[in-house]
């Protein structure tokens, strides 16, 4: 799980990795509030765009 604003990854720098039950989370690095499903779909979209270009 990575923040799509600052690319901070949960589970690094003594933060806890998010589990499946964590539907919402706040990035400890930039303070952005994320709803997991939306953040995930944004990340997937970015990957798809990268693949096709
Ligand atoms: Zn962030």
Domain borders along the chain are: 1-53
User: Would you state the pLDDT for residue 53?
Assistant: 64
Residue 44 burial (CB < 10 Å; 0-12/13-18/19+)? Answer: exposed
Rounded Cα gap, residues 1 and 7, in angstroms: 9
51 C-alpha vs ligand 1 centroid, how far in Å? 24
Which protein residues have their CB within 5 A of the ion that is ligand 1?
3, 5-6, 8, 27, 29-30, 32
Expressed in angstroms and rounded, the spacing between residue 29 Cα and the centre of ligand 1 is 5
| Cβ count within 10 A of residue 19 | 8
| pLDDT (0 to 100) of residue 52 | 76
Stretches where the chain sits below pLDDT 70 are: 53
pTM of the model: 0.69
CA of 11 to the centre of ligand 1 (A): 13
């Amino acid at each position: 799980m990575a923040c799509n604003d600052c690319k901070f990854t949960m589970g690094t720098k003594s933060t806890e990795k998010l589990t499946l039950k964590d539907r919402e989370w706040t990035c400890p690095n930039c303070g952005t509030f994320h709803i997991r499903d939306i953040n995930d779909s944004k990340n997937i979209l970015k990957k798809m765009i990268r693949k096709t270009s």
